[in-house]
A and B are shown apart, each in its own frame.
Chain A
Amino acid sequence: MAKVKPRVKVPKTADAGEIIEIKTLISHPMHSGRAVDGDGNLVPRQIIHSFRASFNGKLVMSVDLKPSVSANPFFTFPFKATASGTFDFIWIEDGGKEYTKSKKISIG
């Protein structure tokens, strides 16, 4: 399987109270369990089934993903920046493997 690589775009700085946009992408085939490979064999299901974004340890948003989410799951969503701190992003694959990424933001 191609290398699974998470990527996140968060502004480095923001004004207090500013609503910023967060963009996340993880390179992942999202095998739905319905497609067949070149030899006609069914490719077993292997997807990222869960995504979570936290700020300073507190959950901001999460997503439950089904096989209908496209390969290389991509999300954009807002966040109201009120304090400096660290975002932690986590993607969980079928079987429990976790991929993580962190980003810092400073206010002012």
Chain B
Amino acid sequence: MHWLGAAGFGAMVSKNALAGSDEAAARINEITGGAEGDDALIILDLPEIAENGNAVKVAFDIDSPMTEENYVKAVHILADGNPEPEVATFNFSPAMGACYATTRMRLSKTQKVYVVAAFSDGSYGSASATVKVTIGGCGG
């Protein structure tokens, strides 16, 4: 597997990250119940350019004490240009001691990727970034 721009970049959370497009936006709205995103600290690490859309590394790191009183309950990864915007949902527990994870996803074309975090106090946070895809990853 090859990819350009492997250096990636960190995207700080922004409130308008929740203002996504179409289906992804609808799904994000379902998750958050339309709540405004918090200014929580989410670092999203994605390549700027993915040569191969079949395996695009996605990593996120969320600043949370991960205690019983205050932890990240779930993190949703969504890609607004895929046939189905939902990529994966991570369900977390305080036993982790920190809040980060890495996985690899398929991206069918150049699109925006969103990470939406649900905190134990009922608030939400999000971050997003655009990944340029050279060869799409939804066919054979």
Contacts and interface: CB of A to CB of B under 8 A. Distances in A.
Interface of A is mostly: strand
Interface stretch (A2-10, A73-81, A90-98): A73-81
Contact of A68 (B102, B105, B139): B105
Nearest to A66: B86
Contacts, number: 97
Contact of A73 (B86, B96, B103): B103
B101 A75 contact: yes
B55, B95, B107 — which one has the most chain A CB atoms within 10 A of its CB?
Answer: B95
A65 B66 CA distance: 23
A19 B96 CA distance: 8
A73 B138 CA distance: 15
Q: How large is the interface on B (under 10, 10 to 19, 20 to 34, 35 or more residues)?
A: 20 to 34
Interface string B123-140: 000000000000001111
B98 A78 contact: yes
Interface in B20-73: 54-56, 66
A68 B87 CA distance: 5
Nearest to A67: B84
A60 B88 contact: no
B97 A79 contact: yes
Interface string A44-66: 00000000000100111111111
A77 B93 CA distance: 11
Given A35-B139, A76-B102, A66 B87 contact: yes
B138 A63 contact: no
A70 B54 contact: yes
A61 B93 contact: yes
A12 B107 CA distance: 36
Interface string A7-38: 00000000000010000000000001011110
Interface string B78-112: 01001110111111110111111111111100000
A69 interface: yes
7 smallest A-B Cβ distances: which pairs? A80-B97, A70-B104, A78-B98, A68-B87, A76-B102, A70-B55, A64-B89
